[in-house]
Amino acid sequence: MKIETKFLGEVAFKEEDVYTFPQGLPGFSDLQRFILMPIDADLPLVALQSVDQPTISFIMAYPFAFDANYTFDLSDEDKQTLHIEGNHEVLPYAIITMKETLQTSTMNLLAPVVLNITKKMGKQIVLQDNKKYPLHFPLGKGVTK
């Protein structure tokens, strides 16, 4: 299958690469099928690309590359929704708000996108502690080379 993407042009993918978000994403509840596309081999960034609406794509970061102390617990309900049986299945990302440079861009640690890489399920969860998990964590604060 092929899709014309917003950021990376035409991309080929297989149906087994598609992640299902049963509830969609906040503000995009009708979009439930996405693929992950690496953006740059040297950066811990991916695009979460809608399969059904090619103009919708979110740039995400692997949060631990920018904040080594980032940690959170999944609720039993979230584990059930994502069919998670073990930690080895969990891959979290944080949606980035892009600014002029990557250093000045921010990522949302308050609402990570959690993927079950085994069962290809996804969900954006909202954490409750907005003092511990900032909505706008500056990437430049934790960027390492």
* Cβ neighbour number for residue 137 with a 10 Å cutoff: 21
pLDDT in tens, 32-90: 999 999 887 778 899 999 999 999 999 999 999 888 889 999 999 999 999 999 999 99
Reported as a pLDDT band with limits 50, 70 and 90, residue 145 is: very low
pTM of the model: 0.89
110, 135 contact by CB (below 8 A): yes
Phi, psi angle pair for 107, to nearest 5°: -125, 150
Sign (positive or negative) of CA dihedral 142, 98, 15, 120: positive
Where in the chain are the domains? 2-142
CATH number (3.40.50.300, 1.10.287.3510, 2.30.290.10, 3.30.2310.20) of 2-142 reads: 2.30.290.10
* Three-state secondary-structure class, residue 15: helix
